[in-house]
Amino acid sequence: MEPLSQDFAELSEREVAGMDVCQEEEDEVPRRDQPRPVLDQLPVEILQHIGGFLEPTEIVESLSSTSSRLNEIFGSEQYWRIRIKNQWPASYPIIPDHVKQPAIWRHRCRDRETHFKLFKNAEKNMEKRIFGHGEGGLVGGDVNAVCFSKDGKLLCSGGRDRHVILWDLDAIKKRAPTDVAALLETGAPPNADFQSLLHTHAGWVWSLQSHGSLLSSGAWDCTINVSDLNHSVGAAAPKTTLKTTGSVTCHMWEGDRTIAGTFIGGVALFDTRAKTEPVFQKSQAHRHAVLGVHMENDRVILIGSDKKLQILDVRAGEFSIKKPIPNNDYGTQLCVRGGSVWVGTFKGHVLLYDQLGQELELVEDMTEAIGHSVGLKNQITGLHCDSGHILTCSMDRSAKMRQPTRKADLIWEHRADTGFTAMDFSRNNALALAWGPVVGIWWPKLRSLIVVFILY
């Protein structure tokens, strides 16, 4: 073997010397048992700044659970209140409700950030399916009501064809948009894999409500049919029929009780544990249609074509408050959240009342901020207000989602070729709209599910 060249020998000596230096540097590396800087030792301001880059669910379910100090910082309601204020400085909520519910500001922050991110860029973050007259399958007439059920897994619709139809959203999500056209070409029923008929009323269906596993439908035939969706569906499915003295225009659940409004101005209260006849009824002398009801304990808020917003005391059996609707108008949509009572009207107005005091006080006329056209043919047909948005639809052919503030900045809008007739919004951030015999459904795309969550 030839001897190493002088250059290589010198290089080898340098490498050996370098190895000695590296060894010395390695000896200076702190041992595992020596203290090192950790995340929760950073100043509060820096930690809160880092939190601003994370989703609320990442903070609550991951970051705040790593140490008691991080839990103290991010478990504070003050942090979530400031986080909302930093993103949206406008006064919020519109009516200070002083809610004492645990983690209320965390929930509000979650809702506002989630709804804004999903719908502000809906083309990127939301899937959409529009089912027209042919693709709607079982839908044979204009749709008057839509309602999500089973934690958003089902959509229920009812209308002038008298049918109550169930839409399987899991099946719809699995179907590609082109599948419908392919099925139509083969002559196969386009709805077979996602639609089923629950039952048929003897009159138009006007009202749908979900309550746990129960679905209730109110119709022109003076009945409310209650079905348990945990059982089989179809003509043989068991159901309970509640009977009223007038055509049912609206109804809602409060625990085991159902309150219904009728076309002839009546209010009927049912205890579904007892019998199918009302346990309480109240008729108004004028016999104007009741178009919206909301019940809390024994207090019923109602609107109707008598041009008043009223409160009925069930125990006393009397109306305790009667407030005229401004502009010689009447309420068509009612949404109650905490101390806020939202009313959509026949002429397209959106009004906000405060029910925290003894009287129903008109706090704000939101009509201009919401931005629907006003007039005799521009009725508000859908109204959903919560901590994340104000959602409305109208016969002016527009549906809008806006920020839940007085200024009500626009988040999302959809327009159709005819007026909207019904709307619902689910806990898992899905949206359903109906116009004529058409049903449109929006839900978060899979890549957007990072902001779709339920903490509890």
Residue 429 · residue 114 · CB < 8 Å? yes
Q: For residue 415, which phi and psi values (nearest 5 degrees)?
A: -120, 145
Q: Whole-model pTM? A: 0.84
- Per the structure, the complete domain to which residue 377 belongs is given by 128-451
Report the number of distinct structural domains present in the chain.
Answer: 2
Domain end call among 118, 136, 164: 118
Residue 389 · residue 375 · CB < 8 Å? no
What CATH number does the domain containing 154 carry?
2.130.10.10
Q: Are residues 72 and 186 in the same domain?
A: no
Residue 197 · residue 234 · CB < 8 Å? yes
Q: Are residues 316 and 375 in the same domain?
A: yes
Q: Are residues 203 and 352 in the same domain?
A: yes
Q: Are residues 267 and 217 in the same domain?
A: yes
Torsion of CA 104, 209, 214, 271, to 10 degrees: 90
Q: Specify the amino acid at residue 71.
A: N
User: Could you tell me which of 426, 423, 430, 443 has the C-alpha nearest to residue 144?
Assistant: 423
Q: Are residues 145 and 270 in the same domain?
A: yes
Q: Which residues face 260 on adjacent strands?
A: 251, 268
Q: Are residues 339 and 367 in the same domain?
A: yes
Q: Give domain status of residue 258, yes or no.
A: yes
Q: Give domain status of residue 21, yes or no.
A: no
Q: Are residues 238 and 263 in the same domain?
A: yes
Long-range pairs, 266-269, Cβ under 8 A, ≥24:
266/290, 267/293, 267/300, 267/302, 267/312, 268/244, 269/295, 269/314
DSSP H or E segment with residue 181: helix 178-186
Tokens 């010689």 appear where?
Answer: 328
The DSSP line for 276-330 is SS-SEEEE-TT-PPEEEEEEETTEEEEEETTSEEEEEETTTTEEEEEEEPTTT--
Domain end call among 118, 142, 176: 118
What CATH number does the domain containing 72 carry?
1.20.1280
Residue 281 · residue 269 · CB < 8 Å? yes
Q: Are residues 110 and 132 in the same domain?
A: no
Spatial separation of the C-alpha atoms in residues 366 and 437, rounded to whole Å: 30
Domain end call among 78, 94, 118: 118
Q: Are residues 134 and 113 in the same domain?
A: no
Per-residue confidence in pLDDT tens, the chain, 456 aa: 444 444 434 544 544 455 454 444 445 555 555 555 577 777 777 877 777 778 887 787 777 677 777 777 777 888 899 999 999 999 999 998 767 778 899 999 999 999 999 999 999 999 999 998 666 677 888 999 999 998 889 999 999 999 999 999 999 988 766 555 555 555 555 566 788 889 899 999 999 999 999 999 999 999 999 999 887 665 556 789 999 999 999 999 999 999 999 999 999 999 988 888 899 999 886 789 999 999 998 999 999 999 999 999 999 999 989 999 999 999 999 999 988 999 999 999 999 999 877 688 999 999 999 999 999 999 999 999 999 999 999 999 999 999 999 999 999 999 999 999 999 999 999 999 999 999 999 999 975 554 444 333
Q: Are residues 104 and 184 in the same domain?
A: no
